[in-house]
Structure 1
Amino acid sequence: MIAGRFPENFLWGTATAAHQVEGGNRGNDWWAWEQVPGHIKNADTSERACEQYGRYASDFDLLRSLNQNAHRLSVEWSRIEPAPGEFSKAALAHYRDVLQALRDRGMEPMVTLHHFTNPTWIAKSGGWDTPQTAEYFARYAERVTDELGDLTTLWITINEPTVIAYQGYVRGEWPPGTRNLGAAARVL
């Protein structure tokens, strides 16, 4: 940066997390967590969220009107792989459309593969505290990068892994709600 100016190719943007903005996502551990009384203040849920799953184009128009040239978003694992080894063509097509919508607006997509949520089937099998979850995640990541890799060059594997370990396995305030330092260490 010279004399208070950002480089011409600097990426200006915002970020979202699929579960927090898309709405209607009932296939992950956070959805299940939200349904338990006392877990979420005021019993709020992500049922509707910001409804970005269906309104991403108008949302991206707003971002572009703010002169943003990049957007970081996550793709929801539970939508893409709702059951072990079963990949949803519809979900992958949806995320292709989302990334293309960013490209069409001159915005650089940055894709996060995991932003705090696990498919319910992962949670039921022990989540990140079991070795096979890393293998499942690798399979998922490979499929997503194969399907969407032509639309982005910027990837984040796991958003804030230390926060997942701390909130979910030390404090027990996020899924899976465990208070176990050994589990937290294994998760990291």
Structure 2
Amino acid sequence: MLKKTVSLLVVSLLMSVTACKDNGSAKITEDDMKTFESEKGIANTESTQSTEVQTADANKTTKPVDGKYPKIQFNKLEHDFGTIKSGDKVETEFMVTNIGDADLIILDAKGSCGCTVPNPPKEPIKPGSSAPIKVSFDSTGKTGQQSKSVTLTTNTEAGTENFTIKANVLPKEGQGASPIMNK
């Protein structure tokens, strides 16, 4: 009986060893690998295209097919409101001219803080044409020399354009240093 048990054990062991020798990679043919590679290539291409579209959407700018870009020329790059009082709301206008070869589109305009609000044109600016960008500055709560920037996101080759406003803001009457009282 011991011989039968040992024989059964040896046969079981041999069967398990030969079963483990079954190479899983032998079941995958070269045709299967080619199909997998081509599907993987398509998936990578789709993924890359999707990423490019997402990037273009995020930037809102793409290289023009014809290679022609608009180009911005400002009538000034800085405006100084001079001396104003805290609480004054002042406004100026920057004239933008498109000296490039394609329509200029201003996609976004942001001031460096909430006190500076640009109002760009909504329509494209044709080559050779000009349009105003109004900028308002609210000096409420501000004193001293102020310098704020405006950043435009555009379809120019650079993608962004900047200009600045500045002012010397005096404290509102009654807000300055209190007078010294004599006893």
TM-score by length of 2: 0.24
Bigger Rg, which one: 2
Higher helix content, 1 or 2: 1
TM-score by length of 1: 0.23
Higher strand content, 1 or 2: 2
